[in-house]
Structure 1
Amino acid sequence: MNKVLGLDVGSKTIGVAISDALGWTAQGLTTIHWQEPEYDTVKDTFKQLIEEHTIEKVVIGFPKNMNGTIGPRGEASQEFGKFVEENFSLDVVLWDERLTTMAAEKVLLEADMSRKKRKKVIDKMAAVMILQGYLDSQ
């Protein structure tokens, strides 16, 4: 089976997670630095990730407002999803991630990780939680 990529897309960083071959577990892969909305700055990186890991689907965190409406970050996730579909011909799933970053922060706080270290891994951790939530629902 081909793998699934999970993304936590922010305006400066993109947390990346990947599923195992069976689609059961998500592992943190990397954090990509970029300047939204310069998609060209991440196109080669994504092409490499997709080819190297035989990716068949991309799950993108879709931050809705608590009342279910879509704000600027949600729109940015939708735009990024279109970019992935158009450039790599992959299935894209937008996954409701309303509480993911807060949950990731809580896990890292409980692990007693310093603020500096948390900042480095929070996006990757959020991507893992987004992807794991999706995998668990399948």
Structure 2
Amino acid sequence: MRILGLDFGSKTVGVAVSDELLITAQGVEIVRRKSPSKLRQTLARIEEIIAEYKVDRIVLGYPKNMNNTEGERCEKTKEFGDMLARRTGLEVIYWDERLTTVAADRSMMETGIRRENRKEFVDEIAAIFILQGYLDYLSNSRS
């Protein structure tokens, strides 16, 4: 069993996958789309990744505002999550993603990745942070 972690954005979707023991999250790729409204190819690629890694659950970053309210991005994320659930038949879990992009950027800065190169990786690393947060939650709830 593996879990897929996604950081859904207007132009990209960062993708991470868990190991089979559900301990660690690893980055897979960033799925890029030509237009925010063009999701067919994005969903098709995610379905390929699900099949390749034998995923049985999806964790989708949920972009609440810092004051815990839900804005337009939450609505778009819910729509995307609903599409994913319909197309894949898998459970989609919404996971608070506040500050994951900030943490991803900080992590890259600490490892010496140049500012101009960080944007290329930030969504994938944010997906790792989202999924790792969920995996840690699972681990702690089993203890």
Tell me which interval the TM-score lies in, with the shorter structure as reference length: over 0.9
* Structure 2 SS opposite 1:11: coil
Code of the residue aligned with 1:56 in structure 2: it is D
Quick check: 1:96 aligned with 2:96? yes
Map 1:13-92 → 2, pairs under 5 A: 13-34=12-33, 35-92=35-92
Question: How far does residue 114 in structure 1 lie from its aligned partner after superposition?
Answer: 0.7
Question: How far does residue 78 in structure 1 lie from its aligned partner after superposition?
Answer: 1.0
Residues 83-106 of structure 1, C-alpha deviation per residue, up to 9 Å, x if partnerless? 110111001000001111111111
Q: Distance in 2 between matches of 1:50 and 1:72?
A: 27
Q: What is the count of residue pairs matched by the alignment?
A: 137
Match of 2:133 in 1: 133
Report the RMSD for the aligned CA atoms in angstroms. 0.9
Q: Could you tell me the TM-score, scaled by structure 1's length?
A: 0.95
Match of 1:120 in 2: 120
Q: Distance in 1 between matches of 2:112 and 2:73?
A: 29
Gaps of 5+ in 2: 139-143
Q: Distance in 1 between matches of 2:129 and 2:112?
A: 19
Match of 1:9 in 2: 8
8 Å contact from structure 1 (residues 19, 25) kept in 2: yes
* Structure 2 SS opposite 1:76: helix
Q: Could you tell me the TM-score, scaled by structure 2's length?
A: 0.92
Q: Distance in 2 between matches of 1:105 and 1:116?
A: 11
Identity score, percent: 43
Question: How far does residue 65 in structure 1 lie from its aligned partner after superposition?
Answer: 0.6
Code of the residue aligned with 1:7 in structure 2: it is L
Question: How far does residue 44 in structure 1 lie from its aligned partner after superposition?
Answer: 1.9
Q: Distance in 1 between matches of 2:71 and 2:43?
A: 25
Question: How far does residue 72 in structure 1 lie from its aligned partner after superposition?
Answer: 1.2
Q: Distance in 2 between matches of 1:86 and 1:75?
A: 17
